[in-house]
Structure 1
Amino acid sequence: MAVPGKKASKQFSSSTASMASDEDLQIYCQPCDEEGTRLPAHGYCTDCKEHLCKTCFTAHKISRLSKHHKLQDATKMPKVLQQPSTHTHTGQSNFLTTPCLKHPQEMIKFYCHDHVELLCSVCVTLEHQATSCNVNYIPDISGDIIDSKEYQVILNAVNTTSDKFQQILKDVKDMTYKSNSSLKDALVDIKKFRQEINLRLDVLERQNVDAAKVIEQENNKHLKAVETTCEEITKSLKISSDKIKQLNTTKQGDKLFIDLKLAENKIKVMKEKLLTLSSFDIKEYNFQSNDVISNLFKTKKSLGTLTHKTLNTESHSVQIKSRQSSHEGKICVKTSKDEFSCCITGMTLLTPDLLIITDYNNKAVKMVDTSSQSVSDQLQLDDGPWDITTVTSTELAVTLPDKQTIQFISISSNKLIKKHTVKVDGDCHGISCYQDKLVVSFRYPAKLQILDLNGAIQTTIDKNNIFKEPGYITCNRSSIYVSDWDMKTVTRLNWQGDVIGSFSGMSDPRGMSLSDDGTVFVCDWDRKVIEEITGDCSTGKVVLKDLKNPYAVCWCGETKKLYYSTVKNVEKYDNFLHIYKLS
């Protein structure tokens, strides 16, 4: 007869109990038996379908993952060994094979919703206890990840990030070609100038030629470094994308959940590299000849200088094309939680079928499913939110002007979750994010601030009375656009705060949205139109007219749909978002 606590030989394991003698047909604890220790069964778990010794039985009632399981004592437990169900976590745990980043010897098995982190058992024990964190066992929550919106959001973010790196590479190639071409043109000018003077200028010419070659070598060296980085990152993201798609196709929910979260973390790291690569500074050159060198060349040490030309990598002279519009319907955004009629003052598009809006009157941020044309989630805030911007594929930032605060919000499992807040020094209204920089407008006193994601001020723009009442903001790599309600203009600035354009054909400009071809859609609340203006703010054209006081607007380049809200203090208008197809 086996002795409790003594190691059992392999032929006496629970899986081969049917082959043992009558004396060895006693029921033993299956978890201990699998570890090589044979102890008599004290009870049975109907959820795990396992017999348990006294120690395991007691622990089973305490553990967070099993304390709700149904247990049977020795008098009620089955008198024969049971095989574990293939649908329990025991079977699924074979797929939990991704090592923890902090504890490589442990596998990732849990997910903390509060900290948005993948965890192993050690992480849970040391840093994410049940009393402070909302932690789930991954197999308990991964069942709905297949073909979910979260899967689509993160996959889209992977692809979008990959596209951005490819665009960076294309931009660097184009600018390097222009720079090298301009250097060649400058060298031609040098040759022409060289022929007009004495051969004694050979040495001076060589100085300029060498300088041009050094710059060209530096350009090509930088291009090679950027090209290598972008190709490696694009390849890595492609591998992640393919793996995610494969796991989704094969319905491996556990691995898919983990790989999606790892891809999400990878995107954050890649965005830092993206910001670094975006800061390149490649200039074009021309040659400026020395007008008095014929008389003074003996005293001069240089034939001339290679000077920088203004390098414009974005076309701001985009012509506004004629558009055909068709009304695609409207979405009711008023919910049973709302106490007042809606006042939709801000909106941002997360994916083509996921629109996030701010409802100032009802102190709420709402998630709108554009496919089902319904509000799928609503998050109540302490005060009325004004404007909203996308920070990452799963994070948003909202201005609370009366609280002088920016509220950060995350999206997990298609739910809006309040995160941290950042205090600012004024009644913040408009907000826009580009590459981890927040641009925020303040109405009293009128100014703009560029902040990092921790709220640290990078730049304050309030000089020379540029603004009187700046409202909404939208921005891209080269420009910041601001609608000024008092000055009745849309002002374009560069990231240094210099005004580089202005469009004054407005009556009361409000919400704005950048189109995919560089133009800007602007709501003119008083004129009751939505106007499209060129990226250089030189011209504009009305695309929608006879509207009911349009206020906030959002463009979807993929579907060619324009969403806008109405603020008219009339429920039958204000409680709806309108949809137009522009082709």
Structure 2
Amino acid sequence: MAVPRKETSKLLLSSTQSTTSDGKSSDRYSISTTAITSDEYYEVYCQPCDEDGARLPAKGYCSDCKEHLCRDCFIFHRKNKLSKHHTLLDAKSMPTSLQQPTTATNTATSDDLTTPCPEHSKEMIKFYCKDHKKLLCSVCVTLKHTTASCKVNYIPDISTQYVNSKEYHTKLKEMASFSEKYKKIIEDLKKLTAKSNSSLTEVLRDIRKFREEINQTLDEMERRAEDEAKLIQQSNENFLKTMETTHSDLMNSLSLSSNTIKELNTSDQANKLFVALKLAEKTIEESKRNIRHVQSTVVDEYDFKPNEAVLEGIEKEKSLGKLVPKRCPTQPIEMKPRKSSHQGQVNVKISQDKDGCQISGMVLLNPDTIIITDQVNSTVKMIDTSRYLVTDCLLLDSRPRDVTSIISTNVAVTIPSEQKVQFISTNIANKLTKKRAISVDGDCHGISCYRDKLIVSFFNPAKLQILDMDGNILTNIKETNFLRSPLHVATNNSSIFVSDWGMKSVTILSWKGEVIGSYGGMGFPSGLALSDVGTLFVCDNEKNVIEEIAEDCSIGNVVLKDIVSPYVVCWCAERKMLYYCCFTMNDKDDNFLHICKM
């Protein structure tokens, strides 16, 4: 028995039925006060009311919430948006004690809805928004997809109509079709890779052949130098031999003449002595001349002076040659004109912003998401392109400049004032989160990523650097002949593209830093974006146009004109959409992301 208690009161939600103007009945609810006497004791009572201090008899049970409910809570449970699809048992079917039964009286229709919501990990997906074509949990429905704005269905209410449906068969066919396409793509890639590897085998053979030709040329040059030295040696030997013979003969002649003169003087043959002495005068004069000649003769010593041009050429080039993709010389590059239509704009200024926006970097993360850097407000923002709104914003300590995607859930942002590259993640509930950072040795501006390599542009001095993901410098490009004010960069497997407003051009480089081509005659080239067909979109902030130029920078076409100072651009191949932002110092232009269908 319950301990007697004083009478308490409880506000109850009672239901009445009325008829509307169109003849349909509707439930209306009114608040009434019901007296609960203290001498009433209920073994099975309403658990939500009991928590508020009032004990009412249970008239039903929710299998999802595992709670007994009074009459009013039972009615409200049916009407509430979050619980209207719960499995409710009436008084006859409900458990007869507050202890949860070991076997359920009725199996819930949502027991097999066990897929976690990607945004709310503790909630299961139970709803589908027809307007946005998205699977939702109860939190998603409450926060973002209300029935006032969206057509939301409870999955068990609509799922049975999809069994063996037309969509079921269509989707299977589409998936099978795509599987076949992927299979063909893989086969084609294998063939292309095999051809590439085969060509590289030929390249290795050509490198060895070229090295052999260089060796032959150097061997020939060495032989010529050796022959010259040997020729001089032989000339020295011949000269020495000639001089030895000549002077030996003169020595013998002098010795013979001297002996003759001595004998004539001893035998007192005056006439012959006189003649011999006079003949000796000529021999002595000739000897004097020969001695003077020999003393003035110089036999040179030699040093080897290397050919500086050969040495400088080898030191300057640093390689035997370069690998270039094969091009068909008979197939000129063509640029097809594009048609465009403006699809609208997204206001990227949010309530937290202290100033008007200045978007200095932009990258497409996926078809529904663009990441932008707002340098004036020191923020990185996430844009939902399907809903035309800013979904998240990350405040940084300093002004960011440019942004590039690393993988599908990570981006890297340059921060010039701190001389660092900041990595940012987007994989937790579509929220921007700061991760690690790497230091760089200058005021970094543009950034692009390709296969775990970062290419970063710098001002003062103008340079490009290729870094690994830990910030180690792999290549340092400081050539000032083609770099003056490098701004934005873009990359693919073979090339680096640089917009340089000082040079008024876009320059294409190899990954070794060699200039391949240049597209000049621009006003103020800035943002770059590679298309899916290898062409390059580039903003000309001064000429108020966006151009599409060929991969080799040989030709280009204007694809958007009469737009106010476009500064950054990105391309979505899947939707054929071109996105751009302007930099005019005017809020009515700078605070928007513009969307064009190409």
TM-score by length of 2: 0.52
Work out which of the residue numbers 388, 399, 403 in structure 2 matches 1:373: 388
Is residue 514 of structure 1 aligned with residue 527 of structure 2? no
Letter in 1 for 2:440: V
Q: Give distance in 2, aligned partners of 1:467 and 1:488.
A: 10
Alignment pair present for 1:501 and 2:514: no
Q: Which residue of 2 aligns with 1:364?
A: 379
CA contact (8 A) 1:471 1:510 kept: yes
Deviations 1:178-236 (A, max 9, x none): 776x89xxxxxxxxxxxxxxxxxxxxxxxxxxxxxxx69xxxxxxxxxxxxxxxxxxxx
| Alignment partners' CA distance in 2, 1:545 and 1:310 | 38
Structure 2: distance between partners of 1:347 and 1:429: 13
CA contact (8 A) 1:492 1:501 kept: yes
Number of the residue aligned with 1:82: 100
Cα displacement (A) at 1:173: 2.1
What CA deviation, in whole Å up to 9, does each residue of 1:559-581 have, x standing for no partner?
A: 11111111101111111111222
Distance in 1 (alpha carbons) for counterparts of 2:182 and 2:486: 30
Identify if the C-alpha distance between structure 1 residues 80 and 164 changes in structure 2 by more than 3 Å, giving closer, same or farther.
closer
Matches of 1:471 and 1:553, distance apart in 2: 13
Distance 1:555 1:405 in 2: 26
Which residue is 2:358 aligned to?
343
Deviation of the 1:395 alpha carbon: 0.5
Choose from 442, 447, 461 the match for 2:463. 447
In structure 2, what residue type is equivalent to 1:341? G
Residues 358, 374 of structure 2: 8 Å contact kept: yes
Distance, in Å, in 2 between the alignment partners of 1:555 and 1:381 is 26
Mapping for residues 175-254 of structure 1, pairs under 5 Å: 176-177=194-195
Once the 2 structures are TM-superposed, how far is the Cα of residue 465 of structure 1 from its aligned partner? Answer: 3.8
1:504–1:364 distance in 2 versus 1, CA, 3 Å: same
Partner residue in 2 for 1:321 = 336
Do the aligned partners of 2:114 and 2:124 also contact (CA within 8 Å) in 1? no
Give 1:437's aligned residue. 453
Distance 1:150 1:475, change over 3 A: farther
Change beyond 3 A, Cα 1:308–1:441: closer
- 2:173 equivalent in structure 1: none
Q: What is the CA–CA distance in structure 1 between the aligned matches of 2:193 and 2:580, rounded to whole Å? A: 37
CA contact (8 A) 2:113 2:124 kept: no
- 1:393 is aligned to 408
* 1:285–1:445 distance in 2 versus 1, CA, 3 Å: closer
Partner of 2:10: none
Output the aligned Cα RMSD: 4.6
* Residues in 1 aligned to 2:476 and 2:184: alpha-carbon distance in whole angstroms: 32
Q: 1:312 aligns to what?
A: 325
Indicate the SS of the match to 1:463: coil
Matched letter for residue 578 of structure 2: L
Residue 174 of structure 1: how far off its partner (Å): 3.2
Aligned pair in 2 of structure 1 residues 576, 175: CA closer, same or farther (>3 Å)?
same
- Cα distance in 1 for partners of 2:186, 2:459 equals 35
1:460 aligns with 2:473: no
Which amino acid is the alignment partner of residue 83 of structure 1? P
Whether the 8 Å CA contact 2:484–2:503 is kept in 1: the answer is yes
Match of 2:567 in 1: 551
- Counterparts of 2:400 and 2:366 in 1: how far apart (Å)? 21
Task: Identify the residue that residue 330 of structure 1 maps to in structure 2.
Answer: 345
Q: Secondary structure at the match of 1:506?
A: coil
CA distance in structure 2 between the partners assigned to 1:85 and 1:381 by the alignment: 54
Contact 1:92 1:139 in 2 (8 A): no
Q: 1:320 to 1:177 in 2, by over 3 A?
A: same
> What do residues 97-155 of structure 1 show as CA deviations (whole Å, max 9, x unaligned)?
xxxxxxxxxxxx9x9x9xxxxxxxxxxxxxxxxxxxxxx9x54577799976999xxxx
Trace 1:552-571 onto structure 2 (pairs within 5 A).
552-571=568-587
Q: 1:286 to 1:452 in 2, by over 3 A?
A: closer
Counterpart-to-counterpart distance in 1, 2:366 and 2:482: 34
State yes or no: 1:410 paired with 2:410: no
Report the AA paired with residue 592 of structure 2: F
Structure-2 separation of matches of 1:149 and 1:364: 30
- Distance in 1 (alpha carbons) for counterparts of 2:466 and 2:509: 12
2:544 — aligned with what?
A: 528
Distance, in Å, in 2 between the alignment partners of 1:474 and 1:524 is 16
Residue deviations 1:297-345 (CA, integer Å, cap 9, x gap): xxxxxxxxxx999551688964211111222222111111111001011
Alpha-carbon spacing, 1:390–1:324, altered in 2? closer, same or farther (3 Å): same
Measured against aligned partners, the alpha-carbon deviations of 1:417-449 in whole angstroms (never above 9, x if no partner) come to: 111111111111100011111111111211111
* CA separation of 1:534 and 1:310: change in aligned 2, threshold 3 A: same
Structure 2 residue aligned with 1:472, among 468, 473, 488?
488
Q: Tell me which of 487, 491, 509 is aligned to 2:503.
A: 487
Higher RCO (C-alpha 8 Å, min separation 6) = 1
Q: Which has the larger radius of gyration?
A: 2
Could you say if the C-alpha distance between residues 471 and 178 of structure 1 is closer, same or farther in structure 2, counting changes exceeding 3 Å? closer
CA distance in 2, matches of 1:525, 1:547: 9
One-letter amino acid of the structure 2 residue matched with residue 354 of structure 1: T
Partner deviation per Cα, 1:60-104 (whole Å, 9 max, x = no partner): xxxxxxxxxxxxxxxxxx96531379899xx989979xxxxxxxx
User: Structure 1 regions of 5+ residues with no counterpart?
Assistant: 1-45, 51-77, 97-108, 114-135, 152-159, 184-214, 217-280, 291-306
Aligned equivalents of 1:163, 1:453: Cα separation in 2:
34
Report if the CA contact (8 A) 1:48-1:85 is conserved.
Answer: no
Alignment deviations for residues 499-522 of structure 1 (CA, whole Å, 9 cap, x no partner)? 111111211100010111111111
**Residues 473 and 168 of structure 1: is their aligned pair in 2 closer, same or farther, counting only changes over 3 Å?**
farther
Q: How does 1:251-330 map to 2 (within 5 A)?
A: 310=323, 312=325, 318-330=333-345
Measured after TM superposition, the shift of residue 163 of structure 1 is 9.5
User: Secondary structure of the equivalent of 1:378?
Assistant: strand
- Deviation at residue 167 of structure 1 after TM alignment: 6.2
Unaligned runs of 5+ residues in structure 2 are 1-62, 68-95, 138-177, 214-319
The SS at the match of 2:417 is helix
Question: 1:357-406: CA deviations, max 9, x gaps?
Answer: 11111111111111111111111111111111110011011111111111
Amino acid at match of 2:364: L
Q: TM-score, normalised by structure 1?
A: 0.53
State the Cα distance separating 1:461 from its structure 2 match.
Answer: 1.0
Aligned equivalents of 1:456, 1:489: Cα separation in 2 = 29
